[in-house]
Structure 1
Amino acid sequence: MPLATSGAAVNTGKRWPGCWFTGPSGKRWGLESLKGSKTVKTVAVVTDSAANLSRQLAEEWDIEVIPLWIQMDDESLRDGVDIQPLEFFRRLTEKPYRLRTSQPPLGEFLQVYQRLKERAQAIISIHVTSRYSGTFQAARAAAAELVPFPIEVVDSGTLAMAQGFVVLAAAQAAAAGASLAEVVRRAKGAISKVDLVATLETLEYVVRGGRLAWAARLVGNLLNTRPIVQVRENTLGLIGQARTRAQAIRKLLDALSERAGDARVRIAVLHTGAIEEAMQLKEEIAARFRCVEVLVEPVTPVLGVHAGPGALGLACYMEG
Structure 2
Amino acid sequence: MPNIKIFVDSTSDLPTSWIEQFNIGIVPLYVVFGEQSLKDGLEITPVDLYQKVSENGTLPKTAAPSPADFIAAFTPYIEQGDQILFISLSSELSATYQNAIIAADDFPADQITVFDSLNLSSSIALLVMKAVHAAESGSSLEEIVTLLEVVRPEIEAEFVVDTLEYLYKGGRCSGMQNLIGSLLKIRPIIKVSEGKMTPSVRVRGKREKAVDMLLQNALNKKDLMDQDLIIVVHSLAEDDALRVQASLQQHTEAKVVLATAGCVVSCHCGPQTIGIMYSKKPQ
What TM-score, normalized by structure 2, do the two folds share? 0.89
**Which of 187-196 and 215-224 deviates more?**
215-224
Decide which of 143, 150, 156 is 2:104's aligned counterpart.
Answer: 143
Is residue 222 of structure 1 aligned with residue 185 of structure 2?
no
Contact 2:7 2:84 in 1 (8 A): yes
Decide which of 111, 119, 129 is 1:158's aligned counterpart.
Answer: 119
1:113-161 alpha-carbon deviations (Å, 9 max, x no partner)? 2111123442211100110100000001111121324321111010111
1:26-82 alpha-carbon deviations (Å, 9 max, x no partner)? xxxxxxxxxxxxxx9532211100110122211211211100000134432101111
Structure 2 residues not aligned, in runs of 5+: none
Aligned match of 1:261: 223
1:7-44 alpha-carbon deviations (Å, 9 max, x no partner)? xxxxxxxxxxxxxxxxxxxxxxxxxxxxxxxxx95322
Q: Distance in 1 between matches of 2:50 and 2:255?
A: 26
**Which of 277-286 and 94-103 deviates more?**
94-103
Q: Distance in 2 between matches of 1:100 and 1:245?
A: 27
Decide which of 99, 122, 129 is 1:168's aligned counterpart.
Answer: 129
Is residue 108 of structure 1 aligned with residue 69 of structure 2?
yes
Displacement of 1:271 in angstroms is 1.4
SS at match of 1:286: helix
Displacement of 1:97 in angstroms is 3.8
Aligned match of 1:182: 143
After TM superposition, the runs of 4+ consecutive aligned structure 1 residues lying more than 4 A away are 90-95
How well do the aligned residues superpose, as a CA RMSD in angstroms? 2.2
Contact 1:266 1:318 in 2 (8 A): no
Displacement of 1:177 in angstroms is 2.8
Structure 1 residues not aligned, in runs of 5+: 1-39
1:164-198 alpha-carbon deviations (Å, 9 max, x no partner)? 11011112222233211111112222212321111
What TM-score, normalized by structure 1, do the two folds share? 0.80
Aligned match of 1:82: 43
Aligned match of 2:199: 238
Displacement of 1:203 in angstroms is 2.0
1:195-216 alpha-carbon deviations (Å, 9 max, x no partner)? 1111111222123223x4xx22
Aligned length: 277
Contact 2:90 2:195 in 1 (8 A): yes
Contact 1:106 1:138 in 2 (8 A): yes
Displacement of 1:109 in angstroms is 0.5
SS at match of 2:191: strand
Residues 292 and 319 of structure 1: is their aligned pair in 2 closer, same or farther, counting only changes over 3 Å? farther
Aligned match of 2:155: 194
Contact 2:15 2:260 in 1 (8 A): no
Aligned match of 2:268: 306
Contact 2:59 2:170 in 1 (8 A): no
Residues 163 and 250 of structure 1: is their aligned pair in 2 closer, same or farther, counting only changes over 3 Å? same
